[in-house]
Structure 1
């Protein structure tokens, strides 16, 4: 896997729950199982402001 693409995917998982991780049956592959949630209401509705 391309290291840049891997970093982008890992950045998307920030602040989500890592349920389990470890080597799979082939022992060369590593698996991450992550529970990701999304807020159904956009930030603009919540009134979040930066600055």
Structure 2
């Protein structure tokens, strides 16, 4: 389920829908905080990545 949120966030980001992408990324991190891409996504959310 977490992967679906990650992919949704990536798709929304490509479409320029930043707010929706960030919401999807937050849900992804909530479901899979130790995922191999979690650090990368946290950086996106904080604006450092």
Q: Comparing both chains, which one has the higher relative contact order based on Cα–Cα distances under 8 Å and sequence gaps of 6 or more?
A: 2
Does the alignment reach a TM-score above 0.5?
no
Mark the structure with the bigger radius of gyration.
Answer: 1
Instruction: Give TM-score, length-normalised by structure 1.
Output: 0.31
Instruction: Give TM-score, length-normalised by structure 2.
Output: 0.32
